[in-house]
Amino acid sequence: MVDIIKRNNVLMTGNGEKQIIFGHGFGCDQTVWKEVIKELKQEYRVITFDYVGSGRSDKGAYSQERYSTLHGYKQDLLDVCDSIGEGPFFFVGHSVSSMIGMLAAIERPELFSNLVMVAPSPYYMNEPGYQGGLDKTDIDELLELMGVNYKQWAKYLAPLIMLNEDQPELVDSFEELLCSNDPKIAREFAEVTFRSDVRAELKKLLVPTLIMQTRYDAIVPSEIGHYIHAQIPKSRFVVMKATGHNPHISDAEETVAFIKEYLSPSGDGKNG
Give mean pLDDT, residues 93-111: 98
Give mean pLDDT, residues 202-209: 98
- pTM of the entire structure? 0.96
- pLDDT over 90 at 272, yes or no: no
Catalytic residues: 95, 217, 245
One-letter identity of residue 160: L
pLDDT bin (cut points 50, 70, 90) of residue 255 is very high
- pLDDT over 80 at 156, yes or no: yes
Average pLDDT, the chain: 95
The answer to whether the beta carbons of residues 24 and 30 sit under 8 Å apart is yes
- Tell the burial category of 103 from Cβ atoms under 10 Å away from its Cβ (0-12, 13-18, 19+): buried
- pLDDT over 70 at 67, yes or no: yes
Read off the pLDDT of residues 8-31 as tens digits, 9 standing for 90 and up.
999 999 988 899 999 999 999 999
The answer to whether the beta carbons of residues 83 and 4 sit under 8 Å apart is yes
Distance separating alpha carbons of residues 137 and 243, to the nearest angstrom: 25
Q: Which residues of 242-259 are buried (b: 16+ CB within 10 A; e: fewer)?
A: bbbbbbbbbbbebbbebb
Widest pairwise Cα distance in the chain:
51
- Tell the burial category of 181 from Cβ atoms under 10 Å away from its Cβ (0-12, 13-18, 19+): buried
DSSP state of 94: E
Which runs of E-coded beta strand occur in the chain?
Answer: 11-13, 18-23, 44-48, 89-94, 112-118, 209-213, 235-239
Collapsed DSSP state (helix, strand, coil) of residue 35: helix
Q: Which CATH superfamily is domain 2-123+198-263 in?
A: Alpha/Beta hydrolase fold, catalytic domain (3.40.50.1820)
Q: How far apart are the first and last CA of the chain?
A: 32
Give mean pLDDT, residues 196-217: 98
